[in-house]
């Protein structure tokens, strides 16, 4: 008999007794819990939903403060699992009010007859994994306990309000309200003196409404937030037409997008646009009144780069100054402590204009912190404010609060979830936790959740979870648990993803910084909704990778491992390349391959501006060679780096690593001279090496003419260019100069053997293939010459070489020869710094602005060059590892 049927009859028998038996227990009857119940029922699982509130709605049940609305367009913030349901409901507004959303959820509940399996007014007080039975036992504050095979938290991300954290609240004699627990009955504020503490979304939505009613409103603001006009009204005709024109396509595009709303990926970068073009885009976005639009559609670097971001933040601050008449108030309302979007921006209706009203006062808590609450009102360090009503819009213990703090959850071996998460949430996919079998979280920490359209993320999580339960039932498994390896891998992947965006640079509820004592870390998955979905699907297609499955009559299955070992943006690039299904580059022939690379490079984002770019000609080993000089914007003379491009001695030219040269020029404050050395097969070994050496000598001799600092130069190169740079250092040492003060070798070719492990492990699938390397070698160098140190520098004398930084990438056939060269130089007494870029491929570090996660490596490389030149390191906010100025918020 299927388990569902056993449980079902057990449930019948014990209903009204002390334990209710079900297959699945769900906590929460909001967006997630309702859809879960519907899917579970259809799949034949017996289920119960336990809900503390008196009715459905979840966050929309509790958050009924004046002005509460969604901030994703409502046509996107809807269920999409049933086209009939979509047709049966019409939203009246672009951003629906809380009452309308609550009506919608009630409508869905009734349409699918869900209420009969929801126990309202019932709070779970403890959840314990019972190992002998392989089931969860839940105790509740009302009615029967529940025994279930699977326990699913559909508790929402923002449902545990933060305590007030301010002394004296209980002494206050007036009325106190929390936006997150607003009373159901009408609250009369007319004629009253009202205080609002907090200016997040809840404060910003409610303040204009409260100001219209109150005799006087005093707003206590700790951190100003970016707010954008919602321009609410009927659902916009253009979006409706898109949706109705191809509903299935529109929904699918949302599912595969980054934020769960179907906007295309923006390609132009800020420095490609003029001031006027940027302003035009900004004005259009300001008029559009759409959070996801303004967060993603202005320029490609707005969400990933501090400079690109501040261009946008400046324009918003300018708007605030234009709207708010009092300059001091405008200044206090202007955010300066976080990048735009790093903290959840708000959508408003008349927020900033509200501060022009005579009955509204803003108190800047950064200048006068609240010292306490008294019987008559609020005291700051400077003054007292007598009020009749205090509204706390102070937010939530987000992401983990509703799961962890609400009731003790005890997993395998008596482990408590609070202990396991004491230093921050640990999950696999934000869905499961090692040590807690059969426990699932819908939109838990570690999933895109609050950085996405929740409706899309909820449906994906519910579908994935219920599909897994069905597959397990089919195969006879009764438990499913994440492995430690998979969970640790996910934590690494999460950390990698968090270098992609600027969320790590703000103290917010995304990072736990809003709750005193909470562990700091970016909790939502920042890699995007579409990539996340493909990862979840990949786990299934790879045999439930990272999960241990057991059952009474089947052999245990555990296909252990990490699902993503590549950096997130490298994964996207490689997937894109795989989708293009290109023939091997070597099949094009040398000229065809050069044309292909030129075409490929033409499609990449334009390089960043530097002070000056000058093309010229220098004397090579055997005639003139072109060069391109990149000069910093700072006054010179600058130290000079001689740069050799990649391309296997066959492809590329002095312009082909343009974005990398610009990036390094900006980061180091040094001039880069990229050399157009001659290529094979027209010019075989040792032409490239001799050109490299001759060019370095010429550049050193003409340093002053090039605007550089006379004296030693540095050399740098990537791939075959790294080979030329390494060889140049050996030749300069042996031929009496020029003086070289340091070498930066990025994924260099250093040896002619192909038997190191990286050549086998990464032979295919990572763009630079083993067969492409064979082809390069064949075109450049005959077998008899290959052990010559001018092409295999690892075989040369390594003493007395300039200090080096050797960068290698994990998924690169050349990795191990780079490591070998670094080790051999170090053994020969050369000061060597080794950089092993985890999760990167051969092109990662030079694909500036495409592989954003390469920034940490580029910072390290730039610092090494500065050190070689005798300069101190330079760090700027936004670089990897640079945290917000303070890890904690001070009032
Ligand atoms: P938020 O966005 O967390 O906002 C809470 C606000 O309250 C924020 O301005 C806080 O300032 C402020 N706050 C919190 N604690 C204090 C104390 N102790 N003293 C003074 N000010 C304080 O919560 P919301 O409910 O507005 O919005 C939550 C999400 O719901 C929102 O992002 C949307 O996704 C929907 P701080 O910034 O911490 O300095």
Provide the pLDDT for residue 1. Answer: 32
CA dist 225 and 203 (Å) reads 10
pLDDT at 889 over 70: no
CA dist 27 and 838 (Å) reads 39
Burial 851-886 (b: 16+ CB within 10 A, else e): bbbbbbbbbbbbbbbbbbbeeeeeeeebbbeeebee
Q: Measured in angstroms, how far is the CA atom of residue 509 from the centroid of ligand 1?
A: 8
Count of CB atoms within 10 A of residue 824's CB? 18
Return the SS3 of 827.
helix
Provide the pLDDT for residue 8. Answer: 41
Measuring from atom 35 of ligand 1, which residue has the nearest CA? 201
Provide the pLDDT for residue 886. Answer: 38
Residues 6+ apart with CB under 8 A from 467: 540
Q: Measured in angstroms, how far is the CA atom of residue 891 from the centroid of ligand 1?
A: 12
Mean pLDDT across 298-318? 96
Q: Measured in angstroms, how far is the CA atom of residue 512 from the centroid of ligand 1?
A: 12
Provide the pLDDT for residue 876. Answer: 59
Mean pLDDT across 574-598? 94
431-483: pLDDT as tens digits:
999 999 999 999 999 999 999 999 999 999 999 999 999 999 999 999 999 99
Q: Measured in angstroms, how far is the CA atom of residue 651 from the centroid of ligand 1?
A: 54
CA dist 888 and 819 (Å) reads 40
DSSP state of 169: G
Minimum-distance ligand 1 atom for the alpha carbon of 365: 20
Q: Measured in angstroms, how far is the CA atom of residue 580 from the centroid of ligand 1?
A: 45
Provide the pLDDT for residue 11. Answer: 43
Count of CB atoms within 10 A of residue 244's CB? 11
Question: What stretches of 614-672 show up as alpha helix (H) in DSSP?
Answer: 658-668
pLDDT at 891 over 60: no
Tokens of 70: 């969604």
Count of CB atoms within 10 A of residue 506's CB? 21
Q: Pick from 222, 351, 454 the residue to mutate for probing ligand 1's pocket: most ligand atoms within 8 Å of its CB.
A: 222
Mean pLDDT across 873-886? 51
Measuring from atom 33 of ligand 1, which residue has the nearest CA? 201
Q: Measured in angstroms, how far is the CA atom of residue 200 from the centroid of ligand 1?
A: 4
Tokens of 331: 């200044």
Q: Measured in angstroms, how far is the CA atom of residue 393 from the centroid of ligand 1?
A: 6
Q: Pick from 201, 363, 371 the residue to mutate for probing ligand 1's pocket: most ligand atoms within 8 Å of its CB.
A: 201
Cβ proximity of 70 and 77 under 8 Å: yes
* Percentage, residues of the chain above pLDDT 90: 91
Q: Measured in angstroms, how far is the CA atom of residue 244 from the centroid of ligand 1?
A: 37
User: What is each CA distance from 821 to 145, 649, 673, in whole angstroms?
Assistant: 65, 19, 25
- HSE-up of 466 (CA within 13 Å, CB side)? 23
Measuring from atom 30 of ligand 1, which residue has the nearest CA? 201
Minimum-distance ligand 1 atom for the alpha carbon of 63: 25
Radius of gyration of the chain, Cα coordinates, nearest whole angstrom: 31
428-437: pLDDT as tens digits:
999 999 999 9
Q: Pick from 345, 514, 887, 889 the residue to mutate for probing ligand 1's pocket: most ligand atoms within 8 Å of its CB.
A: 514
Burial 663-702 (b: 16+ CB within 10 A, else e): bbbbbbbbbbbbbbbbbbeebbbbbbbbbbbbbbbbbbeb
Measuring from atom 10 of ligand 1, which residue has the nearest CA? 198
Strands 145-153 and 19-27, sheet pairing:
parallel
CA dist 213 and 45 (Å) reads 50
Q: Pick from 198, 351, 399, 884 the residue to mutate for probing ligand 1's pocket: most ligand atoms within 8 Å of its CB.
A: 198
Q: Measured in angstroms, how far is the CA atom of residue 344 from the centroid of ligand 1?
A: 10
Provide the pLDDT for residue 14. Answer: 41
The pLDDT-based confidence of 875 (bands split at 50, 70, 90) is low
CA dist 482 and 490 (Å) reads 11
DSSP character string of 45-79:
--EEEE-SSSSS-THHHH---TT-B-SS-TTTSS-
Q: Measured in angstroms, how far is the CA atom of residue 165 from the centroid of ligand 1?
A: 12
Residues 6+ apart with CB under 8 A from 666: 608, 610, 632
Minimum-distance ligand 1 atom for the alpha carbon of 392: 7
Mean pLDDT across 42-64? 97
Minimum-distance ligand 1 atom for the alpha carbon of 222: 39
CA dist 805 and 868 (Å) reads 10
Q: Which of 799, 808, 817, 836 is nearest to 753 (CA)?
A: 817
Minimum-distance ligand 1 atom for the alpha carbon of 201: 26
Q: Which of 623, 637, 634, 679 is nearest to 654 (CA)?
A: 679
Hunting for tokens 């388990």 — which residue is that? Answer: 3
CA dist 763 and 756 (Å) reads 11
Provide the pLDDT for residue 17. Answer: 58
Cβ proximity of 576 and 600 under 8 Å: no
Helix (H), strand (E), coil (C) string for 78-102: CCCCCHHHHHHCCCCCCCCEHHHHH
Q: Residue 618 forms beta bridges with which residues?
A: 625
Averaged confidence pLDDT in the chain = 94
CA dist 804 and 744 (Å) reads 6
837-856: pLDDT as tens digits:
999 999 999 999 889 999 99
| Range list of β-strands (E), 187-262 | 193-197, 216-221, 227-229
Q: Measured in angstroms, how far is the CA atom of residue 395 from the centroid of ligand 1?
A: 4
**pTM passes above 0.85:** yes
DSSP state of 518: P
Count of CB atoms within 10 A of residue 741's CB? 18
Provide the pLDDT for residue 21. Answer: 98
Q: Pick from 159, 344, 395, 450 the residue to mutate for probing ligand 1's pocket: most ligand atoms within 8 Å of its CB.
A: 395
pLDDT at 879 over 70: no
Provide the pLDDT for residue 5. Answer: 35
Backbone torsions φ then ψ of 392, nearest 5 degrees: -90, 115
Measuring from atom 2 of ligand 1, which residue has the nearest CA? 200
Cβ proximity of 489 and 563 under 8 Å: yes
Mean pLDDT across 367-385? 97
User: What is each CA distance from 123 to 47, 120, 146, 402, in whole angstroms?
Assistant: 16, 8, 12, 12
Measuring from atom 18 of ligand 1, which residue has the nearest CA? 165
Q: Strands of 554-558's sheet, edge to edge?
A: 479-482, 547-551, 554-558
pLDDT at 411 over 80: yes
Minimum-distance ligand 1 atom for the alpha carbon of 205: 26
Name residues contacting ligand 1 (CB within 6 A): 158, 165-166, 179, 197-203, 222-223, 344, 365, 393-395, 509, 514, 889, 891
User: What is each CA distance from 830 to 801, 804, 836, 857, in whole angstroms?
Assistant: 6, 8, 18, 21
Mean pLDDT across 794-813? 98
Provide the pLDDT for residue 888. Answer: 36
Measuring from atom 6 of ligand 1, which residue has the nearest CA? 198
DSSP character string of 366-407:
TTS-EEEE-SSEEEESS-EEE-SEEEE---B-TTTIIIIISS
Burial 612-651 (b: 16+ CB within 10 A, else e): ebeeeebebbeeebbbbbbbbeeebebbbbbbbbbbbbbb
Q: Pick from 168, 202, 338, 399 the residue to mutate for probing ligand 1's pocket: most ligand atoms within 8 Å of its CB.
A: 202
User: What is each CA distance from 417 to 147, 150, 381, 439, 640, in whole angstroms?
Assistant: 19, 16, 40, 11, 55
Instruction: Measure the CA angle with vertex 691, ends 688 and 694; round to 5°.
Output: 150
Cβ proximity of 741 and 668 under 8 Å: no
Element (H, E) at 4: helix 3-14
DSSP character string of 564-624:
--S-HHHHHHHHHHHHHTPPPGGGGHHHHHHHHHHHHHHTSPPPPP-SEEEEEEEEETTEE
CA dist 329 and 556 (Å) reads 64
DSSP character string of 706-762:
TTBPSS-EEEEEETHHHHHHHHHHHHHHHTT---EEEEEEES----S---SHHHHHT
Q: Measured in angstroms, how far is the CA atom of residue 63 from the centroid of ligand 1?
A: 14
Q: Measured in angstroms, how far is the CA atom of residue 247 from the centroid of ligand 1?
A: 36
Q: Which of 583, 573, 636, 591 is nearest to 610 (CA)?
A: 636
CA dist 216 and 677 (Å) reads 74
Q: Measured in angstroms, how far is the CA atom of residue 61 from the centroid of ligand 1?
A: 19
- HSE-up of 207 (CA within 13 Å, CB side)? 33
94-108: pLDDT as tens digits:
999 999 999 999 999
């Amino acid at each position: 008999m299927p388990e569902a049927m056993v449980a079902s009859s057990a449930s019948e028998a014990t209903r009204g007794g002390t334990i209710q038996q079900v297959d699945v227990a769900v906590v929460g009857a909001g967006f997630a819990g309702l859809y879960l119940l519907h899917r579970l029922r259809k799949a034949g699982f017996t289920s119960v939903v336990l809900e503390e509130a008196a009715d459905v709605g979840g966050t929309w049940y509790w958050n009924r403060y004046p002005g509460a609305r969604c901030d994703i367009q409502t046509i996107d913030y809807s269920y999409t699992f049933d086209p009939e349901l979509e047709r049966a409901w019409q939203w009246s507004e672009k951003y629906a009010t809380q009452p309308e959303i609550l009506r919608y959820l009630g409508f869905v509940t009734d349409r699918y007859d869900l209420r009969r399996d929801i126990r309202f007014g019932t709070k779970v007080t403890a959840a314990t994994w019972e190992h002998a039975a392989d089931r969860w036992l839940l105790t509740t504050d009302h009615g029967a306990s529940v025994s279930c095979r699977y326990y699913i938290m559909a508790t929402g991300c923002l449902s545990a309000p933060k305590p007030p954290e301010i002394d004296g609240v209980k002494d206050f004699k007036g009325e106190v309200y929390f936006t997150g627990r607003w009373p159901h009955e009408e609250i009369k504020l007319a004629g009253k003196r009202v205080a609002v503490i907090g200016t997040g979304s809840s404060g910003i939505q409610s303040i204009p409404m409260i100001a219209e009613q109150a005799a006087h409103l005093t707003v206590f603001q700790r951190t100003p937030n970016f707010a954008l006009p919602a321009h609410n009204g009927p659902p916009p005709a253009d979006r409706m037409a898109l949706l109705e024109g191809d509903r299935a396509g529109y929904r699918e595009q949302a599912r595969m997008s980054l934020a769960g709303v179907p906007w295309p990926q923006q390609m132009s970068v800020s420095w490609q646009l003029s001031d006027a073009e940027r302003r035009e885009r900004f004005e259009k976005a300001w008029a559009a009144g759409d959070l996801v639009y303004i967060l993603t559609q202005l320029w490609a670097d707005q969400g990933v780069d501090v400079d690109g971001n501040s261009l946008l933040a400046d324009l918003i601050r300018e708007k605030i100054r234009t709207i708010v008449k009092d300059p001091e108030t405008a200044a206090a309302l202007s955010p300066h402590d976080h990048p735009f979007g790093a903290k959840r921006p708000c959508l408003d209706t008349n927020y900033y204009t509200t501060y022009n009203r005579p009955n509204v006062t803003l108190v800047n808590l950064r200048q006068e912190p609240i010292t306490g609450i008294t019987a008559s009102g609020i005291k700051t360090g400077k003054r007292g404010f007598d009020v009749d009503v205090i509204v706390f819009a102070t937010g939530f213990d987000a992401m983990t609060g509703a799961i962890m703090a609400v009731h003790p959850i005890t997993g395998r071996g008596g482990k408590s979830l609070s202990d396991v998460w004491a230093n921050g949430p640990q999950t696999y996919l934000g869905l499961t936790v090692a040590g807690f079998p059969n426990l699932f979280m819908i939109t838990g920490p570690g999933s895109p959740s609050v950085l996405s359209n929740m409706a899309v993320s909820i449906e994906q999580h519910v579908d994935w979870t219920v599909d897994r339960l069905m597959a397990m039932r089919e195969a006879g498994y009764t438990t499913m648990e994440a492995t430690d390896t998979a969970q640790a891998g996910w934590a690494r992947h999460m950390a990698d993803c968090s270098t992609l965006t600027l969320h790590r640079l703000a103290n917010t509820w995304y990072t736990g910084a809003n709750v005193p004592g909470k562990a700091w870390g970016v909790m939502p998955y920042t890699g995007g909704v579409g990539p996340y979905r493909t990862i979840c699907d990949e786990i299934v297609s790879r045999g439930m990778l990272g999960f241990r499955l057991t059952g009474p009559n089947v052999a245990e299955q555990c296909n252990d491992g990490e699902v993503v070992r590549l950096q997130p943006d490298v994964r996207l690039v490689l997937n894109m390349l795989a989708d293009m299904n290109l023939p091997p580059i070597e099949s094009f022939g040398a000229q065809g391959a050069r044309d292909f690379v030129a075409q490929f490079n033409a499609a990449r984002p334009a390089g960043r501006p530097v002070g000056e770019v000058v093309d010229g000609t220098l004397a090579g080993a055997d005639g003139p060679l072109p060069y391109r000089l990149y000069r910093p914007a700072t006054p010179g003379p600058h130290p000079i780096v001689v740069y050799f491009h990649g391309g296997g001695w066959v492809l590329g030219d002095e312009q082909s690593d343009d974005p990398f040269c610009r990036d390094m020029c900006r980061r180091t404050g040094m001039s880069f001279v990229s050399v157009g050395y001659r290529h094979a097969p027209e010019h075989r070994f040792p032409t490239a090496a001799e050109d490299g050496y001759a060019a370095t000598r010429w550049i050193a001799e003409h340093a002053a003419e090039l605007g550089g600092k006379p004296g030693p130069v540095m050399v740098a190169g990537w791939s075959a260019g790294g080979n030329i740079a390494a060889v140049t250092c050996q030749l300069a040492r042996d031929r009496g100069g020029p003086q070289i003060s340091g070498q930066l070798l990025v994924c260099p070719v250093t040896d002619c053997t192909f038997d190191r492990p990286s050549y086998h492990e990464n032979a295919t699938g990572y763009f630079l293939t083993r067969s492409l390397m064979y082809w390069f070698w064949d075109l450049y160098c005959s077998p008899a010459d290959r052990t010559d140190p001018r092409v295999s520098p690892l075989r040369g004398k390594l003493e007395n070489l300039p200090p080096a930084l050797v960068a290698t990438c994990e998924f690169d056939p050349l990795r191990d020869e780079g490591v070998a060269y670094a080790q051999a130089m170090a053994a020969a007494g050369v000061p060597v710094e080794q950089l092993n870029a985890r999760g990167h491929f051969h092109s990662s570090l030079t694909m500036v602005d495409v592989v954003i996660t390469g920034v940490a490596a580029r910072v390290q490389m730039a610092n090494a060059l500065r050190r070689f030149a005798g300069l101190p390191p330079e760090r700027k906010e936004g670089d990897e590892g640079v945290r917000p100025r303070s890890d904690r918020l001070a009032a």
